[in-house]
Amino acid sequence: MRRHELPRTHAAGRTYLVTGSTSGIGYFIAEQLARTGAHVILTARTAGKAELAQRAIRHSWPQAQLSTLSLDLADLSSVRAAAGHLATFADRLDGVVLNAGVLAQQTRRETVDGHELVYGTNHLGHFAFAAQIYPLLQNTLDSRIVTMSSYAARWATLDLTDLESSRAPYRGFATYKRSKLAQTIFAFELDRRLRRGQSSVSSLLAHPGGALDALSPKRPPMPVATTAQVLRARPLSLIAQGKDKAAWSAVRAVLDPQAHGGQLWGPRFLRSKGEPRQERPTAAMTDRVVAEQLWQLSEDATGVKWPSLSQPRRL
Ligand SMILES: NC(=O)c1ccc[n+]([C@@H]2O[C@H](COP(=O)([O-])OP(=O)(O)OC[C@H]3O[C@@H](n4cnc5c(N)ncnc54)[C@H](OP(=O)(O)O)[C@@H]3O)[C@@H](O)[C@H]2O)c1
């Protein structure tokens, strides 16, 4: 399946959920999935942004089937409530894209539950959310969990004794890289556990390359980049792309019948832009010993235990 064929993929009758779909790459993943005829659930922190994103998708695709779910990954009670609410209106879930993310912070900040903000949102929030919506995925034949990684995860090393960057000095980009590596290690470990359990659910990974709002097409009534931002971004288009194109890897991991669990998809050109292709992970991403420990530490930190991944219950 080539990317220009994506809009022709028919996924009517399926339901997909995309975290962080009120802006950026997540918005475009949701828009592209909606164009397949699927029901797409957008997660949002604020009702206003959810409304804008829905209007923008319907502006270009009036027949889009959309719902929204309130979700703040930096608040584990919101994560629990969102999973509970989802179960009241969705009876199937064919795929979830764990896309939302906070980028590098200047200073150390914390989530509502007292975890370091970037690790707590990107990894712990998604770890807990995916565990709590897993029963819906398990009840849907051949469903997929797609985790949004980053090329930055390639340059990171995980320190299991300081996952929350408590030791001074706080380094924002190093913390961000580690959070993406933690998500990546989690997604590969989830794939191994699902296979061991002979589950029909798959865990795949995607990364968007380098993506900038200022290189993305306008989506009224969503906010647009200023002319100055667009002009500044132009030279970067040599190595970066718009967030519409950055969405392709995740959309492909969700939809492509040839894609399967344990694969990592990313842009073809310098891992930074272009059509998606399958990539080889680094050794750190697939380290089983670290993954086992990270899983346990994540369950301890969130107080959320993953259900058994073995028995295949299907709709
Ligand atoms: N852009 C890149 O070059 C790049 C490169 C590698 C990987 N990535 C990854 O790609 C993903 C999307 O990046 P992006 O550039 O599209 O970022 P973005 O434009 O900043 O969008 C991030 C999205 O995540 C949501 N979000 C942030 N904190 C949240 C929370 N506590 N709970 C729920 N949702 C939350 C935001 O919601 P609001 O709209 O409410 O703020 C927004 O929808 C991230 O996982 C990022 O790590 C991006």
Say which CATH number the domain at 184 has.
3.40.50.720
> Quick one: tokens of 75?
């608040």
The residue range of the domain holding 294 is 8-302
CA–centroid distance, 312 to ligand 1, in Å, is 32
Q: What is the mean pLDDT of residues 170-183?
A: 98
Nearest-angstrom CA–CA distance, 122 and 192: 21
Nearest-angstrom CA–CA distance, 140 and 314: 5
Q: What is the pLDDT of residue 60?
A: 87
Nearest-angstrom CA–CA distance, 298 and 275: 33
Q: What is the mean pLDDT of residues 147-166?
A: 96
Q: Is residue 3 part of a domain?
A: no
Distances (CA, A) of 184 to 95, 149, 191, 204, 269: 17, 6, 11, 10, 21
Q: What is the mean pLDDT of residues 60-84?
A: 97
- Residue to probe by mutation, ligand 1, list 40, 103, 176, most atoms within 8 Å of CB: 103
Burial class (CB in 10 A: 0-12, 13-18, 19+), 200: middle
Sole residue written with tokens 């990317």: 3
Q: What is the pLDDT of residue 310?
A: 78
Q: What is the pLDDT of residue 315?
A: 52
Residue 98 clears pLDDT 60, i.e. is over it: yes
Pocket (CB within 6 angstroms of ligand 1): 20, 22-26, 45, 49, 71-74, 99-102, 121, 148, 150, 180, 207-208, 210-211, 243
Q: How confident is the model at residue 312 (pLDDT cuts 50, 70, 90)?
A: low
Q: How many domains does the chain have?
A: 1
CA–centroid distance, 314 to ligand 1, in Å, is 32
Residue 25 clears pLDDT 50, i.e. is over it: yes
Q: How confident is the model at residue 5 (pLDDT cuts 50, 70, 90)?
A: very low
Residue 75 clears pLDDT 90, i.e. is over it: yes
Q: Is residue 180 part of a domain?
A: yes
What distance separates the 2 farthest-apart alpha carbons in the chain? 55
Nearest-angstrom CA–CA distance, 70 and 54: 14
Q: Is residue 310 part of a domain?
A: no
Q: How confident is the model at residue 3 (pLDDT cuts 50, 70, 90)?
A: very low
Q: What is the mean pLDDT of residues 178-203?
A: 97
Q: What is the pLDDT of residue 267?
A: 97
∠ Cα 75 202 83 (to 5°): 25
Q: What is the pLDDT of residue 296?
A: 98
b/e map 207-246, b = 16+ CB within 10 Å: bbbbbbbbbbeebeebeebeeeeeeebeeeeeebbbbbbb
Q: pLDDT tens, 253-308?
A: 999 999 999 999 999 998 989 999 999 999 999 999 999 999 999 999 999 999 98
Nearest-angstrom CA–CA distance, 29 and 240: 17
Nearest-angstrom CA–CA distance, 177 and 235: 25
Nearest-angstrom CA–CA distance, 311 and 63: 37
Q: What is the pLDDT of residue 4?
A: 44
Residue 6 clears pLDDT 60, i.e. is over it: no
Q: What is the pLDDT of residue 308?
A: 87
Q: What is the pLDDT of residue 311?
A: 57
Q: What is the CB neighbour count within 10 angstroms for residue 22?
A: 25
Sole residue written with tokens 């028995």: 311
Supply the residues annotated as catalytic: 176
Strands (E) in the chain, as ranges, are 15-18, 39-44, 65-70, 95-98, 144-148, 202-206, 211-212, 241-242, 264-269, 273-279
* Residues in Cβ contact with 85 at an 8 Å cutoff, skipping those fewer than 6 apart: 69, 70
β-bridge partners, 18: 42, 97
Q: Is residue 59 part of a domain?
A: yes
The total number of residues shown for the chain amounts to: 315
Q: pLDDT tens, 106-125?
A: 999 999 999 999 999 999 99
Q: What is the pLDDT of residue 9?
A: 76
* Residues in Cβ contact with 243 at an 8 Å cutoff, skipping those fewer than 6 apart: 24, 25, 27, 28, 208, 211, 212, 213, 215, 216
Residue bearing the CA closest to ligand 1, atom 6:
150
CA–centroid distance, 38 to ligand 1, in Å, is 22
Q: Is residue 251 part of a domain?
A: yes
Nearest-angstrom CA–CA distance, 314 and 244: 33
Q: Is residue 311 part of a domain?
A: no
The string of DSSP letters for 180-239 reads: HHHHHHHHHHHHHHHHHTT-S-EEEEE---SEEGGGSPP-TTS----HHHHHHHGGGGGT
Q: What is the CB neighbour count within 10 angstroms for residue 10?
A: 11
